Amino acid sequence: MITKDTNFLIVGLGLIGGSYAKALKNAGYSVSALDINEESIQYALENKIIDKGDISEKRLIQEADFIFICLYPTLLKSWIEENQQYFKSGITISDVCGVKGKIVDATQEILRKDVEFIASHPMAGKEVSGVKYADPTIFEKANFIITPTDKNTLERIEMMKELAKILGFTNISVLSVQKHDEMIGFVSQLTHVIAVTLMNTNDNTHLVDYTGDSFRDLTRIAKINENLWSELFISNKENLVKEIQDFQRELEYFERILQNENVEEMKRLFIQSTERRKLFDKRK
Amino acid sequence: MITKDTNFLIVGLGLIGGSYAKALKNAGYSVSALDINEESIQYALENKIIDKGDISEKRLIQEADFIFICLYPTLLKSWIEENQQYFKSGITISDVCGVKGKIVDATQEILRKDVEFIASHPMAGKEVSGVKYADPTIFEKANFIITPTDKNTLERIEMMKELAKILGFTNISVLSVQKHDEMIGFVSQLTHVIAVTLMNTNDNTHLVDYTGDSFRDLTRIAKINENLWSELFISNKENLVKEIQDFQRELEYFERILQNENVEEMKRLFIQSTERRKLFDKRK
């Protein structure tokens, strides 16, 4: 249960960690933060985004009732291994990782048995990073996905739903780790691969004068954080490779019907894509 | 030269033809229209989008100083062949076709020698069609591209630039037919192929609850007019097939480095796509 007295600790005060801190502070909670970057901590303290902050102070861990680990996926497990000796008994820990398969089981495996790790994924972001851009409004129309395992309790799943509402998410759902990673492979990762690949195919930057909104919308996500996304892609490699291959097969098929000037089949594909895409309009 | 007395005739009163008519009427010109659909003509007359209109009246052709043929590419040449006997001597004719290679030479070839056809392409549109959606504000941030050949005169090129400004375009440029079609193959057609193919790869409409702006932006243009775009794709087949193949090669390369977990190369590609994409932001 989250109460007025719940002490939150944010580990990793970047864009998401900072936005979580702001949202929780706005809702009246006590928020501390740890970050290896002293400037980020200073900025957050000066701007009252957090109540307490430090680069390494273990007392902040000892005081926490809920720890949000907002680090890159590869750092999650090692941070817990190094710091779980300081955890209060009974606390809840969550993360923000965009891929779950490689990290959830591994984290629960090494975790102290008197605390609970329940994974979650805020499907929100910006094309910039750092606490200076922290902005809880990015959660407003975003999805918050909780990915419990059989080691998680119903109570904590409910608690995470409650917390997601406090953070400002309107779309909150629960998915298995496997379903989550398959979904992410298509909805998020394949689309990023396509946008990046389109920008890299040829250097067409001389065409900037002729591009309209369609091209800009399609390639917006080609601006990508190379450290985070290379980690995310590799940790979801099997799902993503499958999605890329499925897409490639469909593209080869399209090329063939274009080569053959098969107008009727081309029209069928256009009608199908139009119908399917319309379904994605309605929720907006 | 365009003067206050220039009589414009729009042939084909759809979204673009209707938007041209509105823009010209707003600017104070006399505008007539021909369309095989009587309802479109009625609608345009009732809403004062045009001064005169009919489904076949040849007098409208005889009165015109400037004819904008806003028909599908395959209909352009045959309309001219059937109707050029009614043209006043010395008039100017333009079109709105999204692909130029197959039509410009062929049209100039069969045209009466006392009139001038100068091709142009308004890179504007909406995901709807018909005169009821006519809206000249779609031209505001769009490109107007004039594609002259050696049969065109400098005077008419200047006249088209002047006309483009009257229509409300801010970005006006002149390109050869060949450069235009190469550019369109990449900027417009490949992007539509990608969006359509992404929607058609698998039926992922059950994922609608999890999609965010990235996916929606990337697939918006998968809603596509099947009759128009199948024509446009086939009439630019060679350029488009080359673009698809270049993109496929780049995608296969990406898949390989993902399979091999070549993190450094993946990061290099992300940095490159980010840098290139940033150049497309600045113009907005």
Q: Given A183, A196, A247, which is nearest B198 (Cβ)?
A: A247
pLDDT, tens digit, 9 for 90 and up, residues A182-204: 999 999 999 999 999 999 998 88
Are the C-beta atoms of B167 and B23 separated by less than 8 Å?
yes
Cα separation, A8 vs A23, in Å, equals 11
B32, containing H or E segment: strand B30-34
Amino acid at A42: Q
Chain A residues touching residue B128 (CB < 8 angstroms): none
Say if residue A283's pLDDT is above 60: no
pLDDT, tens digit, 9 for 90 and up, residues A111-141: 999 999 999 999 988 877 899 999 999 999 8
Asked whether the beta carbons of residue B218 and residue A221 sit closer than 8 angstroms, the reply is yes
ipTM for the predicted complex comes to: 0.87
Cα separation, B51 vs A65, in Å, equals 74
Say if residue A42's pLDDT is above 60: yes
Q: What mean pLDDT is reported for chain A? A: 94
Say if residue A2's pLDDT is above 60: yes
Cα separation, A238 vs A231, in Å, equals 13
Domains and their CATH numbers in chain A: 7-175 (3.40.50.720), 179-281 (1.10.3660.10)
Other CB atoms within a 10 A radius of the CB of residue A107 amount to 22
Helices (H) and strands (E) in chain B, counts: 12, 9
Cα separation, B220 vs A277, in Å, equals 7
DSSP character at residue B84? G
Chain B residues touching residue A230 (CB < 8 angstroms): 263, 266-267, 270
Percent of chain A with pLDDT over 70: 99
A116, containing H or E segment: strand A116-117
All residue ranges of chain B with pLDDT < 50 are: 284
- Choose the mutation target among B139, B198, B239, B266 for the interface with A, i.e. most A CBs under 10 Å: B198
- Choose the mutation target among B196, B234, B240 for the interface with A, i.e. most A CBs under 10 Å: B196
Strand A52-54 with A30-34, pairing: parallel
pLDDT, tens digit, 9 for 90 and up, residues A203-261: 888 888 888 778 888 999 999 999 999 999 999 999 999 999 999 999 999 999 999 99
Q: Which tokens is B203 given?
A: 């039926």
Amino acid at B59: R
The whole-number pLDDT of residue B284 equals: 43
Percent of chain B with pLDDT over 70: 99
Instruction: Determine the 3-state secondary structure of B158 from DSSP.
Output: helix
The whole-number pLDDT of residue A188 equals: 92
Q: What are phi and psi of B13, to 5 degrees?
A: -100, 70
Q: Which tokens is B60 given?
A: 């409208």
A206 touches chain B (CB under 8 A): no
Chain B residues touching residue A209 (CB < 8 angstroms): 143, 171, 173, 283
B142 touches chain A (CB under 8 A): yes
User: Three-state SS string across B212-270, please?
Assistant: CHHHHHHHHHHCCCHHHHHHHHHHCHHHHHHHHHHHHHHHHHHHHHHHCCCHHHHHHHH
Length of chain B: 284
